[in-house]
Chain A
Amino acid sequence: MKAHEYQARQLLADAGIPVPGGIVCDNADQAKAAFEKLAGEGATLCVVKAQVHAGGRGKGGGVKLVKTADDALEAAKTMMSKPLVTHQTGPEGVPVNKVMVAAGVDIAKEYYVSVTLDRARSRPVMIASAEGGVEIEKVAEENPGAILRQPIHPLMGMQPNQARTMAYQLGFTGQQVKQAAAILMKLATLFTKLDADLVEINPLIVTPPTDEHPDGQVLAIDAKVTFDDNALFRHKDIAEMFDPTETPASELKAKEFGLSYIKLDGTIGCLVNGAGLAMATMDIVKLHGAEPANFLDVGGSASEEAVTEAFRIILDDPNVRGVLVNIFGGIMQCDKIARAIVAAATNVGFKVPLVVRLEGTNVEPAREILEKAQSDIPTMQTATDLTDAARKITAAVPAEAA
């Protein structure tokens, strides 16, 4: 689960990491008031930022610098009037329901720092770079030497010497070192405390020297936090941060029924048990020249009702021109799927071609059920194996539709 920027900044601030004030707004009038408040505190320049999960907001028009309260109002109004399209959202974009107004901060230098899981070492790792403010993936690709990695002991947590060393290696000097090391320590602790997948500050900045801060101040400007969905049961407060508006309605519906569904752009709807087999089924559809309309894992213990709902979700997708069912029964019993197909035929109706491939537990009774139902479901064909199934569904769906 992803947090919005304003939520992530709050989590960082709560952990004692210095984050310049930002005000989250539900409408343009609030954005105007927010500017006035920040201006009253001395800000001469503010930034209005669309609160969406997708990256690439700046290029998509979701980040605007403003110098007056009226400009803030206009910027917020424009952003919230239409979906925001970035390279991560797809062409339909995502709705902007909130914007954040933050005081502009003078920046002397930008850094990157995050904590995530190092899968190969089965422990958290802190990743940092003195090349901040840009996409870290790009830095990793173009200048891998500019990225520092510090594994964090699973039981000990980050040690002060590690944070200090990293601060020096990043090039912090004077009073900055202590400030930066403290932030790194707090970020590592926060990762564990939140059961996070990722906590990221990009950029972490140093402000130009002033009389009050001759070495500048180290501040977190933008933050990103994503959570381990499996751990949300012990973080009720975090679970409440979930914003359903950026998730397609079909995916929310699927979740309700315990189905794992992801909408894609193709025309062949796929209903499969098991995540690996579901991916493999998408792959074989593609190998046969068509594009999958979705990933759908019904899981091992889905009820007949849930499987029927799965068919409804697939068939509700207007792009779907054909449906491929691929079940290898283990815990899932094939006859349950067969009954769900019959129920879906009655309750939803298969107007598009349907190819069913069943193997495994209770496959014989399942085949009998489908044989009996064949006359009622004229668009249905059965397949003997994966290749046969992929061939039949791609042959049944006209090429121009695929």
Chain B
Amino acid sequence: MSILVNSDTKVICQGITGSAGAFHTKGCLDYGTKMVGGVTPGKGGLKDDNGLPIFDTVSAAVEGTGANATMIFVPPPFAGDAILEAAEAGIEVIVAVTEGIPVADMVRVKAALADYPGVNLIGPNCPGVISPAESDPCKIGIMPGYIHMPKSKASTGKAVGIISRSGTLTYEAVWQCSERGIGQTTCIGIGGDPVKGLNFIELMDMFQADDETDGIMMIGEIGGTDEENAAAHIKANITKPVAAFIAGRTAPPGKRMGHAGAIISGGQGTADSKIKALTDAGIAVAESPADMGDAMSRALGLG
């Protein structure tokens, strides 16, 4: 199995008529995702280039298609509202790809989401989630699908779950695993913002409970204390092998390294502190970004 998304996941795209929304809706369809429609207010009743129905509201899209997941490409000023609209309409998996949402908006959205305990928000500012499978794979987001490997095709017979704050660095990790014959059950980019939906800990628990997942790779970066918190959680609760990499050892303090959340401030959030916390928790931390696949291999006992 996989976590969060699988062959039963029916996906809509909020912002389907924008250039990014349209492009990645096609990309997800091509990968095999059950894309069932999209939402753009004012364009309800039309169809997109793939023949998917467009709705004015998320609730109409849910009613018309039975969608249970959404991929959001709505521009930053309106993206927080789009997340809440999806939650209100009963969508269970909300993937917010949008980059640049004001932090204060996400603070309020996150507080409001407490009213919707069944909702899983991924992101924002993230590549999305993918569960590769030989038949009925599901990709919700912007990652290149072809680098991923389902467990059934993995030469080692093993598959791992991957959780990452970064986009392209996740692709690097996935590619290194696939090259070594390690498949993936589900890969989640949790996003580079300081306030976000699912975090390392919740996803670790999901992977721990998933029978197909043999190990977990986490990719963190400078800023905040999520990795330190995850390390403590892994030590206490996760029995599956875990490998990790932390980006930003060379990053200077006080400078925001691209991601809104990737900043060392007030002496907190350094790579060294995170690496130490993970190592102390007995987790295999890759020294170099080129060794992420090998670290996972070693953690799985593949030599």
User: How far apart are A270's CB and chain B's nearest CB, in angstroms?
Assistant: 10
CB of B249 closer than 8 Å to a CB of A: yes
User: Quick check: B288 and A276 within 8 Å, CB to CB?
Assistant: no
Chain B 244-263, CB-CB to A under 8 Å as 1, else 0, gives 01011111101101111110
Contact A155 B108 (CB under 8 A): yes
The count of residues in chain B whose C-beta lies closer than 8 Å to any C-beta of chain A is 63
Q: Assuming A119-B194, A120-B224, A120-B225, is B261 touching A284 (CB within 8 A)?
A: no
Cβ A276 vs Cβ B225 within 8 A: no
Chain A residues with CB under 8 A of B147:
360
Q: Which of A257-283 contact B (CB under 8 A)?
A: 260, 262, 264, 272-283
Query: Are A279 and B247 within 8 A (Cβ)?
Result: yes
| Interface contact B165-A276, CB-CB below 8 Å | yes
Q: In the complex, what residues of B have CB within 8 A of residue A346's CB? A: none
Verify if B221 is at the interface (C-beta below 8 Å from A): yes
Contact across chains for B166 and A228 when beta carbons are under 8 A apart: no
Residues of B within 8 A of A340 (CB): none
Q: Knowing A117-B103, A119-B225, say if A281 contacts B144 (CB, 8 Å).
A: no
Q: Which residue of B lies closest to A359 (CB)?
A: B175
- Interface residue count on the A side (C-beta < 8 Å): 59
B262 nearest CB neighbor, chain A only: A275
Partner of B288, one of A197, A283, A297: A283
Which residues in chain B, 56-84, are within 8 Å of chain A measured between CB atoms? 76-77
Q: B267 in the interface, Cβ–Cβ < 8 Å?
A: yes
Identify which of A5-13, A58-66, A135-143, A162-170 touches chain B.
A135-143
Nearest chain B residue, comparing its CB with the CB of A195: B104
Given B108, B194, B221, B255, which contacts A154 in the complex, CB threshold below 8 Å?
A: B108
The verdict on A124 contacting chain B, using a C-beta distance below 8 Å, is yes
**B112 and A136 form a contact (CB under 8 A):** no
A386 beta carbon closer than 8 Å to chain B: yes
Which residues of chain A have C-beta atoms less than 8 A from B257's C-beta?
Answer: 262, 275, 278-279, 295
- Residue ranges of B at the interface with A (Cβ–Cβ < 8 Å): 20, 76-77, 100-108, 110-112, 127, 142-144, 147, 164-172, 175, 192, 194-195, 219, 221-226, 229, 245, 247-252, 254-255, 257-262, 266-267, 271, 287-290
Give the 7 A-B CB pairs with smallest separation, nearest first.
Answer: A276-B166, A275-B258, A274-B168, A276-B169, A231-B102, A280-B289, A386-B290
Cross-chain pairs A/B with CB under 8 angstroms, 28 sampled: A117-B194, A119-B225, A122-B107, A122-B110, A123-B107, A137-B266, A155-B111, A197-B103, A228-B103, A230-B100, A233-B76, A234-B77, A274-B258, A276-B168, A279-B251, A280-B169, A280-B247, A281-B289, A282-B251, A283-B248, A283-B289, A287-B287, A300-B142, A329-B144, A330-B167, A359-B171, A359-B175, A390-B290
* Apart from the given pairs A260-B258, A276-B167, 14 other A-B contacts in the complex at a CB distance below 8 Å: A117-B107, A122-B110, A123-B107, A123-B111, A137-B267, A195-B104, A230-B100, A274-B166, A276-B259, A283-B247, A284-B289, A284-B290, A360-B147, A385-B290
